[in-house]
Amino acid sequence: MTATTHPPLTHRGIPVDRDLRILALGSFANRFGAGAVLTTSALYFTRQVGFSATEVALAMSVSAIVGIVVQVPAGHLGDTRGPREVLTAFMVGAAVFSAPPVLATTPWMLALLLGVLAFFERGAGAVNQGVIAQLATGGRGVLFKAYLRAVTNTALGLGSVFGGAALVIDQRWAYVGVFLLNAVFTGFAAWNSTRLPHLAPHTRAEGEPRLAVLRDWPYVVITIITGLFSLHFFVMELGLALYVSARTAAPTVMVAVLLILNTAAVALFQVRLSRRADSVEAGARALVRGAWWIAGGFAVVGLAERGTRWVAVAALVTGSLVHVVGEMIGSGGQWGLQMGLAPHERQGQYQGFAGLGFSVLAVVAPPVVTYFCVDRGEAGWLMLAGFMVVIALVSVPVARWALRSRARYGVTTHSG
């Protein structure tokens, strides 16, 4: 199947379809508040409350584990009880529990409150992915996810401005205000979800497994592949920052500069670079193209430890720009595979499972990335480059196997 031409997704930057406009608005509001909290939460709990960095990290690990556990059941619940209704319920819960973590006085209380919040946030995220897949039909799925990524990156960036203001003020009331801001915007996103159309729940046929995705081995393998491919995000978010500080002569402010460059590039070009990934086979090919760009970026970044400050800066900027091209192309490939291989009526369950690849990687990636990027230096960056290409190349025959197996699992493939 080859990429096809579809009607414009947006007009002057706004989705043409009403339902997609509602989804985009909700995502913007949700991520705006999250951007403010992400910028401030760790410093608030360590500097204002007095928790150690280890205690905060452990509390966040608890929330990450809760997020892993809830994703597939939440997606399944959305499929069987009505995606819009279940999404609204999870979003209301997220709004209610967005602010309480600021009241935590002990590490265990923080872990509990963050865990409850993660239950609702990650549950809502899983159901929302299924809603997107059901509403963005007719070849628009991948392009709309690309558009949403640009929107959410912009929202996170704008939200971080408010978080940065709280850091400058550095008073408890300012940090509390950030958490309350997040609750208000999440509450708006919850209300906004009620404007979505009712989507008929899926009635499980007699003999159909409750969680059919767990028996769909081709999809399980694809999820492992796309999850491993996501390692490059952790490399550039965590590994790059540590590498700049520990092994290069570049000023540490370059970490912020590179993040801004990445965010701007995604906001401007993500949709354009995802246009050729609107089917399963096209998605696998996009994953390979993206991997070569990512590998090239890693190889250039690895040169930063060799030279002077300006040589390091040049290598970091060039490598990061090469990488972000691959990031955008590869993201389109991931979406094409994850959405194209899932049955329409079980998109919530399948997209919730697809998200597990990234969620599990978030638990194990930090020490792996630190070892290769910092401990091994340039050689480690080259090894990571090779890994990205190999895992992408494997996706091509696996995607073909998955397509051949679709009839067995009652799945009708579709574009995007």
**Residue ranges per structural domain of the chain:** 16-193, 212-409
Q: Are 313 and 244 in contact (CB under 8 A)?
A: no
**Residues 220, 126: Cα–Cα separation, whole Å:** 16
Q: Is there a common fold for 16-193 and 212-409? A: yes
Tokens for 107, please give them: 């590490």
CATH architecture of residue range(s) 16-193: Up-down Bundle (1.20)
Q: What number of other Cβ atoms are within 10 A of residue 62's Cβ?
A: 17
The type of residue at 263 is T
Residues of the chain with pLDDT under 50: 1-4, 409, 414-416
User: Could you write out the three-class secondary structure of 47-100?
Assistant: HHHCCCHHHHHHHHHHHHHHHHHHHHHHHHHHHHHCHHHHHHHHHHHHHHCCCH
State the pLDDT at residue 259.
Answer: 81
Tokens for 210, please give them: 């409750």
CA angle 99, 176, 119 (to 5 degrees): 20
**Residues 124, 114: Cα–Cα separation, whole Å:** 15
Span 354-388, pLDDT tens digits = 888 888 888 788 889 889 999 999 999 999 999 99
Q: Are 330 and 229 in contact (CB under 8 A)?
A: yes
State the pLDDT at residue 1.
Answer: 41
CATH architecture of residue range(s) 212-409: Up-down Bundle (1.20)
Contacts of 73 by beta carbon, 8 Å cutoff, 6+ apart: 211, 352
* Paired strand residues for 11: 14
Q: Are 294 and 326 in contact (CB under 8 A)?
A: yes
Contacts of 153 by beta carbon, 8 Å cutoff, 6+ apart: 263, 266, 267, 270
Q: What number of other Cβ atoms are within 10 A of residue 208's Cβ?
A: 11
**Residues 128, 27: Cα–Cα separation, whole Å:** 10
State the pLDDT at residue 207.
Answer: 58
**Residues 351, 72: Cα–Cα separation, whole Å:** 8
Phi, psi (degrees; rounded to nearest 5) at 11: -130, 115
Distances (CA, A) of 301 to 163, 235, 256, 295, 321: 29, 11, 16, 10, 10
The type of residue at 140 is R
State the pLDDT at residue 245.
Answer: 84
State the pLDDT at residue 415.
Answer: 45
Q: What number of other Cβ atoms are within 10 A of residue 7's Cβ?
A: 9
Q: How far is CA 69 from the centre of its chain?
A: 17
State the pLDDT at residue 59.
Answer: 87
